[in-house]
Amino acid sequence: MPSSRSIAARKAAAGADGAPQDPAKLVTWLEERVKNNDPVAEYRLGVLYALGQGVKQDYGHAAQLFQAAADGGVAEAQYNIAVMYSEGMGAQKDPPKAVEWYLKAAAQGNANAAFNLGVAYSNGVGAKQDIQEAARWFRRAAGAGVVNAQFNLGLLYERGEGVPASLVEAYAWYVAAAAKGDQGAAQRRDHLASTFSPDDLKKAEARAAQLKATIQTGSATPTDQKAAAAH
């Protein structure tokens, strides 16, 4: 099952708040702010160390900075330190601790953290396997636009796993994922379409249009939906 393993980095890491554009100078600029225990600076400096921008790549130091920023409440840092605990990258591999930090990041609206929680609960890695809990997080991530989560929900509805079987609902989620380039979702969408009667296809298309609108407005993220699946 895929999960979001890349380090999150704010696009405005350089140039914001008077920060210098040159990576090496940015490192120095951020280090001064880290001395004052600035959580956002800790996060941003951690990104530079993780990516090796303006400084020699050092996952261990990046993890220390992300941990400090995560303790300071920075959602992106909470997500990043969770990834590092999950992968054993710069920190000892610790799936339960990864779940702990994914939960904190997801509580602040981090959609990739929500998806990774779905993976963790679905596979029983870092947390006791709980398909319904996995479904809740997949739903939240899918509603926020995470493509793999959208595919997973489609698969669940198609199989009737964790949710009542509904080919119409499955089709709608496949349409959402396919619209963002997921080829597997496009294949499942086309397969289902070939099995529908004209009336059922009309219903499925209507549901897909409705779902698209709710995803765009951010209202497709109820916390009580139950689903889980593997892509």
Give, for 45, the enclosing helix (H) or strand (E).
Answer: helix 39-51
Overall domain count for the chain: 2
Q: How high is the mean pLDDT in each 10-residue block of the chain (231 residues)? A: 60 60 91 95 96 95 97 97 96 98 97 94 93 88 93 89 90 96 97 97 97 75 35 40
Q: Which one of 97, 129, 161 terminates a domain?
A: 129
Residues 106 and 207 in one domain: no
Do 124 and 156 belong together in one domain? no
Distance in angstroms (rounded) separating the CA atoms of residues 219 and 20: 38
Within-domain flag for 38: yes
Give the per-residue pLDDT at 193.
98
Q: What is the pLDDT of residues 183-200, one digit of tens each?
A: 999 999 999 999 999 999
* Largest separation between any pair of C-alpha atoms in the chain: 66
- The pLDDT assigned to 162 comes to 79
- State residue 229's pLDDT score: 37
Gap between the Cα atoms of 114 and 142, Å rounded = 9
Rg (CA), the chain: 20
Do 189 and 155 touch, CB atoms closer than 8 A? Answer: no
Is 139 domain-assigned?
A: no
User: What pLDDT is recorded for position 221?
Assistant: 46
Note the pTM of the prediction, 2 decimals. Answer: 0.83
Does 112 share its domain with 163? no
Q: Residue 209 burial (CB < 10 Å; 0-12/13-18/19+)?
A: exposed
User: In terms of domains, do 123 and 32 share one?
Assistant: yes
Q: Which domain holds residue 43?
A: 1-129
Residue type, 155: L
Do 40 and 83 reside in the same domain of the chain? Answer: yes
